[in-house]
Amino acid sequence: MTTNMFIAGKGWLYTLDSRAKLIGLLLFCIQVFLPMRQIGVWFLVLLSIAVAIRSVGWAQAFSPLRMVFPVLLVMLMFVPFTYRDGDSMFIIGSLTIATRESILQFSKFASRFIAITYLCILFFWTTTMATILATLRWFGLPYRQSLVITLAFRFVPFIAEAFKMISDSHAMRESTYGQKVHKRNRIKDIMPTVTAALVFSLKSIPNLAMSLEHRGFGRSNVRTTFRSLETNRSLFTHCALSVIICVLFWILFHS
């Protein structure tokens, strides 16, 4: 009922301590909302993509872009009509489609959105969920809360996988060989597919709860731990490295 986003790969991000990675992730996410030069955020996007290519390969590295594309499209449609100040850049007849200000705003929103998406996904791609759970507990979060947080991150990709399976199954029920399928029908078929995925997910929730309780979740005794993180000298080095990279980035690109 749950799945992992972890992809086994190679690169320095896999060897970096998960606690250092979490600190770096939070610092970068905060930074992109502070006054920074646009070029800095786009540089962060490019850097994240480069690290993704190095870590999980070309084919996988660009999948987050495909995922965020619909949101970017919506931004592109609405931002130019929200920000009307500045010089006109695209005009059709007497209607200004986009101004300089709106393009800058779109660039700002898009770069932040892509950067945060990549940073988070890189964290999940290169850290196993068991390690994330251990990391949250190391930072003092109680077991129950840590489990709930990680379960959310496991359950959502599981629903996505179920959606893929259901879509595959529906694709198999299209018209017979030789018959044409209208695009209009395909769009109409999306709703039942989404409904099926939702029903499947809703049905999974009691199963998840049942399984948790059947496996002893809820007992009053203190749980023991199968995986725990060690605290040693390399942890300090990794955390320091993480903070230094973020500070350097800030010095270079803050406005």
Partner 1 sequence: MMQESSISINNVSFSYEGYEHIPLFSNLHLEVPKGSHMLLLAPPDSGKSTLARLLCALVPKYQAGTFSGSLIVGGKDVTESEPWELTDICSLVCQDPQEQLLMTTCKDEIAFPLESLKVDKPTMERRVKESLKSWNLHHVGEANPQELSGGERKRLLLAVTEAIAAPVLILDEPFDDLDAYWRGELINRIQTSNSTVLVMASRYINEFHGTFDRYGLLLDRHIEVESEEDIVMRFETMCDAAFAPSKIEHLATHAHKICCEHVVALHPRKSMGELKPFTLHCDKFHLESEEIVALVGPNGSGKSTFSRALCGLDEVQSGTFSYDDAQVERKHLQRIVGYVFQNPDFELFLPTVKDELMWSIKNDLRKSKDEKESLVATCATMFGLNLNATVATMGYGMRKHLQAAIHYMLNRPFYILDELDSGITYAAAFEMVTLLKSRGAGILLITHDRSFAANLAERTYTMSKGTLIAEAFE
Q: Which of residues 110-139 bind partner 1 (CB under 8 A)?
A: 128-130
Q: Which of 109, 113, 123, 200 binds partner 1 (CB under 8 A)?
A: 200
Number of residues interacting with partner 1: please give it, by CB under 8 A: 59
Residue 247 binds to partner 1 (criterion: CB under 8 A): no
Q: Which of 66, 184, 219, 233 binds partner 1 (CB under 8 A)?
A: 219
Buried b (16+ CB within 10 A) or exposed e, 159-194: beebbeebbeeeeeeeeeeeeeeeeeeeeebeeeee
- Give long-range contacts, CB 8 A cutoff, 24+ apart: 206-210: 207/1, 208/1, 208/2, 208/151, 208/155
Neighbours of 220 (CB within 10 A): 4
Site string for partner 1, 63-102 (x = CB under 8 A): ----------------------------------------
Q: Using only C-alpha atoms, what is the Rg of the chain?
A: 23
Question: What is the spatial distance between Cα 206 and Cα 154, in angstroms, rounded to a whole number?
Answer: 16
Q: Could you tell me the smallest distance in angstroms from the CB atom of residue 202 to partner 1?
A: 10
Residue 162 or 246 having the CB closest to partner 1: 162
Q: Which of 66, 183, 184, 215 binds partner 1 (CB under 8 A)?
A: 215
Q: Among candidates 224, 22, 209, which has minimal Cα distance to 123?
A: 22
Structure-token pair, residue 50: 């480069």
* Residue whose tokens read 């489990």: 147
Helices (H), 179-232: 183-214
Question: What is the spatial distance between Cα 100 and Cα 103, in angstroms, rounded to a whole number?
Answer: 5
Q: Which of 63, 211, 231, 234 binds partner 1 (CB under 8 A)?
A: 211
Q: Could you tell me the smallest distance in angstroms from the CB atom of residue 186 to partner 1?
A: 11
Q: Could you tell me the smallest distance in angstroms from the CB atom of residue 95 to partner 1?
A: 41
Q: Which of 35, 70, 94, 168 binds partner 1 (CB under 8 A)?
A: 168
Site string for partner 1, 178-197 (x = CB under 8 A): -x-x---x------xx-xx-
- Applying CB under 8 A, the residues found at the interface with partner 1 are 1-4, 6-9, 128-130, 154, 158, 161-162, 165-166, 168-177, 179, 181, 185, 192-193, 195-196, 199-200, 203-204, 206-219, 221-227
